[in-house]
Chain A
Amino acid sequence: MISPQVPHGGPEVRVPHHINDPVIRSERLPNIWCPGCGIGIVVGAYVRALQKSAIPRERQISISGIGCTGRVSGYLNLDSYHTTHGRAIAFATGMAVARPELEITVIAGDGDLGVIGGNHLIHAARRNVDINVIMVNNFNYGMTGGQHGGTTPLGARTHTSPYGNVETPFNIPYLVAAAGASFVSRWTAMHVRQLTAAFSRMMEVKGFAFMEVLSPCPPTFGEFNGFPEALDMMKYFRDKAVVDHNADLSKIAVTARPDDSVVVGNFVDRKRPSYQELLGDLRARVQAQGVAKK
């Protein structure tokens, strides 16, 4: 039933370039991530938020740490920085203080930001440094071959917890909200539209804007924990995610068990003075007093 005014579709068309290619370093594709890895989806969501943002592309900065998610910066056609393991937020803090007009986004993994860099995470949230931080949480150390970390659920099996993990993991949004961030959210790699919307909101937020993105890690975490295919975990996210923006954050720890639900949402969006604003006020106050030259 196609009227003459309506165009015809047709079979797929093979092309050399993607419509997002101007925003990425497409010459570096295919990327290094495993089939079904959620990191690429996060990159796509970030790219679409970049395209929508009114902030000039020159001022958009991407900073990563080390590990699988650490490679994100290298695929973005921005001023990008691939730093050291755990230190991306500290690196970003320095740049953000030196250049408050930049829109800095840190994209890194759970082990990177939440474990080795956990101290930088909570202190940046405490200071409310005006940066965006995306933590792609795949529940384990992927690049080194699947070891347990500070976000690995209790009981989960990895190469270094072969009998089940005996460490209680961080409930990351609860932690970051308690530390003082202006914006705290959690989504999954399956929530592709909410991811982009949250990215866009984070670029507007003044202060520390944080998002945890739960992501499949098929070859290491998934295989041992009831999600043999990447698709299994994506379906888990689709079927078991409960959107609750007003969730009690103390109760949203992730178990990553196929029968348990996962609470997602934009949990915190509040106004607190950012670190850069407070530093700017301080400078203005000091300079108004005049510099008594000795």
Chain B
Amino acid sequence: MRAQQVAVQKKEIGPGAITREPINAAKFHKPVSRVYIIPERCKECDYCWTFCPNEVLELSDEINAAGYHHPKVKAGKENDCVNCGMCQAVCPEFAIYAKEEPRQ
């Protein structure tokens, strides 16, 4: 429920935004990363999924031993984590981090 509200708010920022592509964009790659979680440490503060810039995360229906819902990757967003580090940095519990998948 709350997740939906936040998503709606974020979309509201959208209209009017101008996006431009850097001319040297080809020199960069967009990292594809994996999200790692330690569910038992989570206290459901909502920070990681609220502040994830790519809206990769949402709350899971599952609960840990303390009764908290931990985050999970949204269906359809599996390849959208770019390892910006926000979830790790904003998590007060050392319960989540992302790591770039090795390039083959």
Contact yes or no, B91 A12, CB < 8 A: no
B89 touches A41 (CB 8 A): yes
**Measured CA separation A13–B43 after assembly (Å):** 18
Please, which residues of chain A bring their CB within 8 A of the CB of B32?
6-9
Closest Cβ of chain B to A207, distance in Å, is: 27
Q: Are B29 and A6 in contact (CB under 8 A)?
A: yes
Q: Are A10 and B43 in contact (CB under 8 A)?
A: no
Query: How many A-B residue contacts, CB cutoff 8 Å?
Result: 128
Is A31 in contact with chain B by the CB < 8 A criterion? Answer: yes
A192-214 interface code vs B (CB 8 A; 1 in, 0 out): 11001000000000000000000
Chain A neighbourhood of B29, CB < 8 A = 6
- Closest residue on chain A to residue B47 by CB atoms: A234
The yes or no answer to A244 lying at the interface (CB within 8 A) is no
Separation of A30 and B39 alpha carbons in the complex (Å): 10
Q: Is the CB of A15 within 8 A of B35?
A: no
- Given A14-B38, A30-B40, A192-B86: A231 and B50 interface contact (C-beta under 8 Å): yes
Q: Which residues of A contact B89 (CB under 8 A)?
A: 41, 44-45, 48, 192-193, 196
Give bound CA distance, A229 to B47, whole Å.
11
Interface residues on A, range: 35 or more
Instruction: Pick the contact of B38: A10, A18, A35 (CB < 8 A).
Output: A18
Max count, chain B CB within 10 A of own CB: residue among A35, A193, A238: A35
Whole-angstrom distance between the Cβ of B73 and the nearest chain A Cβ: 5
> Contacts A31-B93, A40-B91 given: A9-B78 contact, CB under 8 Å?
yes
Residues of B within 8 A of A229 (CB): 46
**Interchain Cβ contacts under 8 Å between A and B, 8 examples:** A6-B29, A7-B32, A8-B101, A9-B32, A9-B79, A9-B80, A14-B36, A21-B94
